[in-house]
Structure 1
């Protein structure tokens, strides 16, 4: 063990011990102040609460050190607050915790452009892989957690260096874990990374100064929404948000997945940093969470909602504000696949849609089926010789970003995601399932599958099955023990723990091929993906 490494550990531990000593000296006073602060409303109350709960370690000559020297996402601040409870026994009620996170995220958060590259991580999209600037950054920072956790915060060089010391003080084995011994880990972390991180993610940026000074539009009002839930299909509908306090809303939803399948729900939401929507709702009989981002001008919203306690199961979400000033704003077209020679009922969802609809050459509107707030329904006929491919939809003379695709027959079917991870459950740890979709494609102009000009048509119904991915999986009978596929493409894993029925009593892990079988007229197509069924995750975090 190098002397530099020992020094780093000592510095980290020393900081933690000094903080603990200061807590012991002021804890009684701090808790008394916090009770009064939480009863009040507004910024002054939040400031008093932070001084009371955090000042034991961070208040120095009237200034909160460390806390004021960084910016983070709402999840980043929440993880910090929780960590203070674990490391230093800071006690907070749920309301106090939310008050502190709200205050810090509003004043020391991230601008929309800063958080945008890592929205998939924030939205907890399953099987996402974040990208580091280079291999060294990925290995130094991404071996123990996602790289996005680093990129969703901002510090100057000194604060980044202190974070390195904190890592070593709290996790002295960091140099020896996750293949850290293939390099001089501590010397790189201490001497090289702080400057690099400060250049990549500085505390002070023009984007943040501009966003802090801007006036942000409340989310109140009616919204036309659309999206797609893997396994269920596309939906359109409405969302209404009513003010329930500063940046807080009561929300109602009506989501239409198809004829006879309308899901309604009620919930609430809070908006951090002027655009970061975090909500909870009961949709039908499911408890859900939502993570959306408002556009900088407040006219649109996008993100993802998912099941409480199973964030791998959810749906994409897009919304446009139903504003009197908005006209012919198209949000979605369903279905998006139109077959040559067929007549199809099409729903266009959007704001103030005009009756003049143009779906491109070879597609004729033959009947108007009705118009309601947020929707326009038409029956269209596609010519037998209509050119295959994707075309943009025009409503009221305005070209939209929404598209439809014309096809004669599917060329290929792929499984999405192509690679997925599911986790065993057991005891108090729920299993983590994996949701798959079958996606139809055209080969494109070159007539070859798997090339850059392939045309993605969209999700299609499929019959699902699994088989061993390789010889080892076949030998261990992974397909028998790891779990099973539900009819709608969801893989449900088995329970964890040694299984005496398996060879060697191994756990119910597995390496599987997931197969989608799709019938398309007189042809049957198969798509295949890979699924790793692995052990439980014992410490789930908002930012992994």
Structure 2
């Protein structure tokens, strides 16, 4: 099983997805969840109200994501000695996520954490929340919760009781931290993230769509590349699904897999799937009508190694879902693949773009050669009645390359029980746009582009310490693997293999190389993770 976290640190709140995707045994039914809470939780919590709609103290005053509820239960197990089986745990998480979850609009700003896309620098966090909460947690950690003001204040008290040194940390010891946290910040949290909201009321009343059927899927797997596939889902018991995936990568190699999924809160899709012998996880959110899902798929053993994933339900209506690649250089004949479903009719790539030859065609995939002679910009792609707005970027010259993630952390490991934490990179190309000046708002995003990858020292000190020699390597697919943990006799003072690097992507365009770089910190092992049996 993949490593997870025993503590309350921000980086691993979403790791509970590894336990969420299994099927509960037939002996545990959804109606039993309230009784499980009574049997397992009322030694510490209390119950009031009507038996059919009970109020459980410290539970009913909160709303969380499935991962948030699982995190809470695991904390009760680790810190309070809760005795609960895996089947019971899954059923309680399902019940709480369905009845006390987050509306789609409430979870939307923080999906990066649910999807385990953790190499991201959060911006725009309120100063008071940043200084009080986000100095230890991510902003998504508290942004994915809803509580009454009193419950937010009790959470402050929990921190003081469980972590009494909190008042002596940076940004705490120079002020009256408790008074500020309890009397000001908790009140602000109660106003900004309240228990009762119109969004949640509306979502509870909304008709939830079944997510069974046939789905046209596109995505990216690091080391494998872009892919398109058909995903078939069949509904099992209690909102659970069996699924299969059949398709191919951009290089033509086949993709095949099967697995199981669970849907929480009417839209939160969590799946475990084995693709060509490799265990993967899917975290996606369905739209309100259940016609599309978007999210991320990643390795079960390494959540950092993954990529975007989108799914469109097959309603027999024509649809274009993607063009690979998503860019076309003026004056060059380029092979393009149009991905969709029920594709029938004439192909139109926009003004100034000519389809030179159709190489292969089916009702869900068209491979062709095209040439652009018109103006630079984004254009719609049409096949008969199906259209993808802004599906193709026509450009004259590659102006700059952006490395994503722009800022990342890798972690040494491997020699001890602590696993290495790798980073998967991609290169995004831009043309200069209408103003002809790269790096401005007019830049035209072309999409992901193939690149040659290398690393170099981040600065003079990193060069002097030979960080690029010892901290790790990057392969042709853009996957960085850090060095081993432990002292290195070859380094100055037998230091370990940490370091500060720049990751460089070099993209060739018309024979010229355009480079971009990102910042990478190769740090010590992630000691808050542990390997589960």
Superposition pairs of residues 295-444 of structure 1, within 5 angstroms: 295-324=287-316, 327-373=317-363, 375-383=364-372, 385-397=373-385, 399-426=387-414, 427-444=416-433
Structure 2 match to 1:516: 505
Measured in 2, the distance between the counterparts of 1:453 and 1:242 equals: 45
Equivalent residues of 2:470, 2:483 under 8 A apart: yes
Structure 1 match to 2:437: 448
Structure 1 match to 2:96: 104
Measured in 2, the distance between the counterparts of 1:302 and 1:314 equals: 14
Equivalent residues of 1:365, 1:378 under 8 A apart: no
Higher helix proportion (structure 1 or 2): 1
Measured in 2, the distance between the counterparts of 1:256 and 1:129 equals: 33
Equivalent residues of 2:402, 2:428 under 8 A apart: yes
Higher relative contact order at CA 8 Å, sep ≥6: structure 1 or structure 2? 2
Alpha-carbon offset, residue 274 of structure 1: 0.4
Measured in 2, the distance between the counterparts of 1:388 and 1:38 equals: 57
1:477-497 superposed Cα distances (whole Å, 9 cap, x missing partner): 111111111121111001222
Alpha-carbon offset, residue 194 of structure 1: 1.9
- How many pairs were matched up? 501
Equivalent residues of 2:28, 2:88 under 8 A apart: no
1:29-60 superposed Cα distances (whole Å, 9 cap, x missing partner): xxxxxxxx987443331111111111111124
Larger deviation: 198-207 or 385-394? 385-394
Measured in 2, the distance between the counterparts of 1:513 and 1:237 equals: 35
Residues 1:434 and 1:180: Cα distance change in structure 2 (over 3 Å) = same
Equivalent residues of 1:220, 1:243 under 8 A apart: yes
Measured in 2, the distance between the counterparts of 1:231 and 1:270 equals: 27
The alignment yields a C-alpha RMSD, in angstroms, of 2.0
Gaps of at least 5 residues in structure 2 are 1-23, 50-54
Structure 2 match to 1:47: 34
Alpha-carbon offset, residue 409 of structure 1: 3.5
Structure with max Cα Rg: 1
Equivalent residues of 2:360, 2:368 under 8 A apart: no
Measured in 1, the distance between the counterparts of 2:519 and 2:26 equals: 53
Larger deviation: 455-464 or 185-194? 455-464
Equivalent residues of 1:231, 1:436 under 8 A apart: no
Alpha-carbon offset, residue 333 of structure 1: 1.2
Larger deviation: 509-518 or 286-295? 509-518
Structure 1 match to 2:454: 465
1:346-398 superposed Cα distances (whole Å, 9 cap, x missing partner): 3222232332332111112344444435x131524314x32222212233355
1:382-428 superposed Cα distances (whole Å, 9 cap, x missing partner): 14x32222212233355433511123332222322222211111412
Larger deviation: 464-473 or 386-395? 386-395
Larger deviation: 74-83 or 86-95? 86-95
* TM-score normalised per structure 2: 0.90
Measured in 1, the distance between the counterparts of 2:205 and 2:439 equals: 47
Give the SS at the match of 1:254: strand
Give the SS at the match of 1:537: coil
Residues 1:350 and 1:535: Cα distance change in structure 2 (over 3 Å) = same
Which of 273, 278, 298 is the equivalent residue of 2:265? 273
* TM-score normalised per structure 1: 0.88
